[in-house]
Amino acid sequence: MIYAGIDAGSRAIKVVLFDDENGQIVASGMADQGIAQEALAKELLEKLLHQRQLPTGSVAKIVATGYGRNIIGFAHKTVTEITCHAAGVHHAVPEARTIIEIGGQDSKAISLKVDGTVQDFSMNDRCAAGTGRFLEVVATRLTVDLYTLGELSGRSRNPAAISSMCVVFAETEIIGLLAAGVEPEDIASGVQAAIAARVGTMAGRKIEPPVAFTGGVALIPGMAGALEKVLKQPVSVPADPQMTGALGAALLAARI
């Protein structure tokens, strides 16, 4: 049977099709978020089914998660992103005991039990500090894309100290650093270190290894290394770290 997971996130919609009989992902895809979230999710789901030459009726159950989960009216059930990320990461990295997830507009630290269920979690969803949005603002100010921002940080020899974690004030601070002649790569490295420190503070003592790093920010070069320095332990990035929430939703759909 084929099960679908839809992660209607703040910045993108992700869909995973999972074959429960052979325990494999059949297809996965992502589309930019928009106003008509339900229509976008349905269009992406149908596109993936068409690519795999699967009829619409082949999907047994659908679970929706993420900020827009309650808007996905054709889903059979909605589940919180905390639970879905836990299920998705446990499938991808069974040994993981802590998840650090940094998305477009929030960040999370999730502690897992041995069976992959949630033991505890902390979350920052009230401020853009420590999120992908913060990095987007910095990249725009440095006139580079997010991937290039990560590459810049790797060339830094003297990371800048970023004192403000408020996006508005930090942007002003970055303008001042550029005016003072601070190299863009040192600013990029300093911002990554500041975000990692913010996430480490949020996580507190909930860091039990092994640690898995997921979310779109996990794809940016240098961020996993910045987290390793703060957490003082190795951090692994699963394959397709943006898809773990949708994968978890698909896995949970198979249990309905």
Cβ-count burial of 34 within 10 angstroms (0-12 exposed, 13-18 middle, 19+ buried)? exposed
> Which pLDDT band holds residue 99 (cuts at 50, 70, 90)?
very high
Confidence of residue 138 (pLDDT cuts 50, 70, 90): confident
Binned at pLDDT 50, 70 and 90, residue 198 comes out as: confident
Question: What span, in angstroms and rounded, lies between the C-alpha atoms of 119 and 113?
Answer: 6
Range with lowest mean pLDDT among 14-28, 84-98, 125-139: 125-139
Check residue 135 and give its pLDDT: 87
Domain map (residue ranges) of the chain:
1-93+240-256, 98-237
What is the average per-residue pLDDT within 12-34?
Answer: 94
* 1-93+240-256 and 98-237, same CATH topology: yes
Which pLDDT band, with edges at 50, 70 and 90, does 130 fall under? Answer: low
Q: What pLDDT shows up at residue 228?
A: 96
Q: Which residues contact 199 (CB under 8 A, 6 or more apart)?
A: 100, 102, 107, 109, 124, 130, 227, 230
Cα separation, 172 vs 152, in Å, equals 20
Q: Report the pLDDT averaged over residues 113-124.
A: 92
Q: Is the dihedral of CA 169, 135, 68, 251 positive or negative?
A: negative
Return mean pLDDT, the chain.
Answer: 91
pLDDT, position 81: 94
Any idea of the CA torsion for 69, 86, 251, 40, to the nearest 10 degrees?
A: 30
Taking the complete model, does pTM exceed 0.85, yes or no? yes
pLDDT, position 126:
62
Structure confidence at residue 189 (pLDDT): 95
Q: What is the mean pLDDT of residues 230-245?
A: 95
- Chain-centroid distance of CA 75 in Å reads 22
- pLDDT for the residue 132: 79
Q: What mean pLDDT is predicted for residues 132-157?
A: 89
Mean pLDDT (whole number) for 105-111? 90
Q: 136 or 189: whose pLDDT is higher?
A: 189
Which fold would CATH assign to domain 98-237?
A: Nucleotidyltransferase; domain 5 (3.30.420)
Q: Which residue has the tokens 């998660």?
A: 65
pLDDT at 168 over 80: no
User: Of the segments 105-109, 142-146, 245-249, which one has the largest average pLDDT value?
Assistant: 245-249
Domain 1-93+240-256: which CATH class?
alpha beta
Q: What is the pLDDT averaged over residues 78-95?
A: 97
* pLDDT at 256 exceeding the cut of 90: no
* Closest to 114 (Cα-Cα) out of 132, 96, 136, 131: 96
The span from the CA of 60 to the CA of 150, in Å, is 40
pLDDT exceeds 90 at position 165 = no
